């Protein structure tokens, strides 16, 4: 595969280190400051990477948008003055990557390597795998408005538990600024949701699983961006598309949500079949959980919520009935407090479902995964219970029943 490397500058600024690095990699760089020449270079080759350094005759963002519309196959790297760096705007205009004018050799090298890998990946017409469209999948959001309640560790272990049930599982890290899903699996993804938004969003030939990382336990994760500021280029529309694309390929899509509410957070909730609200037997956590449930009721999503009481120790704190009374709903499931198991899992980056599945916590998460996929049975039990109550009447009510 021959990549067509092109450098455009309306100020006739030489490419300098860009040319030097590419020559070291045995690659040729075409340099031009003429728009007509640029068009002729791009239209002839569908494997083009274009560096744009423009700010005198052309606005760099406007030019980027024009090129992206005319030649959607071109991988565009914008070189902008430090005070003009705007990742969100660059992505909206069709850029695949950006470099500051004061870029370092390492930053330039990373940009070149990534562009080349992207071109290699795109050139593969068939990677030998077949993605079967899932007719029905389940989206589960794991949430709580307070940090430290165990959302991420429950999410990553629940994902492995689903995989053990024979399900094809994906985890989307919804904490776009400081997501830790990848860390909990002890991986450093080369591709994240940021790359998917730049390169694959809205393009049918770029399946979202190409931007996921397969981790131990046969789970695919769509990781958060590697830099916190990259989240600005990701909107609720991107998240919606990511979830909908994942639903086509996976039986279960788990979303690890951040503590703060946002349009993206609410969109994830809206697209979820189940909302697992993790809480603890602590007054401060219960109060915030109550507020969160009130919010869910306001947006008419409370019926999807399932209350998971994490780090539960029988006989300590409030009893279950009191917790249910405070929150106004039944506790769907309890997870035992095994701090040593959870802590070891986080330190090693290995889900305890794999390393310590026989622990009380491991067994509980496995049973939770089974229960979440056995809801038909729960619904039948509920219907039978309601029928029985309709015959016998409510407690304290005298009814004459003829059978």
Residues 6+ apart with CB under 8 A from 315: none
What does the pLDDT look like over 200-210, one tens digit per residue?
Answer: 888 877 889 98
Identify whether the C-beta of residue 177 lies closer than 8 Å to the C-beta of residue 234: no
Ordered domains of the chain (ranges, CATH): 4-123 (3.40.50.2300), 138-386 (3.40.50.300)
Lowest average pLDDT, out of 51-60, 75-84, 339-348, 349-358, goes to: 51-60
Average pLDDT over the chain reads: 84
The b-or-e profile of 82-103 (16+ CB within 10 A means b, else e) is: eebebbebbbebbbbbbbeeeb
Residues 6+ apart with CB under 8 A from 388: none
Give pTM, 2 decimals. 0.68
What does the pLDDT look like over 304-336, one tens digit per residue?
Answer: 999 999 998 888 888 899 999 999 999 999 999
């Amino acid at each position: 595969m021959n990549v067509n490397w092109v450098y455009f500058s309306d100020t006739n600024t030489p490419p300098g280190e860009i040319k030097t690095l590419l020559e070291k990699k045995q690659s040729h760089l075409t340099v031009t400051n003429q728009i007509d020449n640029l068009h002729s270079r791009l239209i002839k080759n569908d494997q083009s990477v274009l560096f744009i350094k423009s700010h005198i005759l052309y606005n760099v963002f406007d030019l980027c948008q024009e090129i992206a519309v005319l030649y959607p196959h071109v991988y565009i790297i914008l070189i902008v003055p430090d005070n003009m760096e705007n990742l969100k705007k660059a992505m909206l205009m069709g850029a695949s990557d950006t470099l500051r004018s004061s870029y370092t050799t390492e930053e330039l090298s990373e940009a070149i390597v990534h562009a080349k890998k992207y071109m290699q990946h795109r050139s593969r017409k068939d990677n030998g795998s077949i993605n079967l469209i899932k007719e029905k999948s389940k989206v589960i959001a794991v949430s709580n408005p307070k940090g430290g309640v165990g959302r991420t560790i429950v999410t990553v272990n629940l994902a492995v538990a689903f995989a053990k049930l024979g399900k094809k599982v994906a985890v989307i890290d919804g904490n776009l600024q400081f997501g830790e899903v990848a860390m909990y699996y002890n991986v450093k993804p080369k591709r994240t949701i940021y790359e998917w938004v730049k390169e694959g969003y809205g393009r049918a030939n770029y399946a979202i699983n190409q931007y996921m990382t397969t981790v131990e336990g046969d789970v695919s994760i769509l990781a958060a961006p590697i830099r916190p500021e990259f989240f600005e280029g990701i909107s609720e529309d991107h998240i919606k598309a990511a979830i909908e694309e994942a639903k086509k390929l996976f039986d279960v899509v788990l979303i690890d949500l951040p503590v703060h509410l946002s349009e993206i957070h609410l969109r994830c909730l809206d697209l979820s079949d189940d909302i697992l609200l993790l809480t603890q037997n602590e007054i401060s956590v219960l109060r915030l959980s109550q507020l969160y449930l009130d919010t869910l009721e306001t947006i008419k999503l409370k019926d999807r919520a399932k209350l998971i009481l994490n780090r539960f120790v029988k006989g300590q704190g409030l009893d279950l009935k009191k917790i249910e009374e405070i929150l106004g709903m039944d506790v769907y499931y309890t997870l035992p407090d095994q701090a040593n198991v959870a802590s070891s899992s986080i330190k090693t980056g290995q889900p305890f479902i794999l390393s310590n599945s026989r622990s009380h916590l491991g067994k509980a998460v496995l049973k939770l995964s089974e229960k979440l996929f056995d809801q038909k049975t729960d619904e039948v039990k509920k219907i039978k219970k309601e029928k029985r109550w309709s015959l016998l009447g409510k407690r304290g009510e005298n009814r004459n029943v003829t059978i």
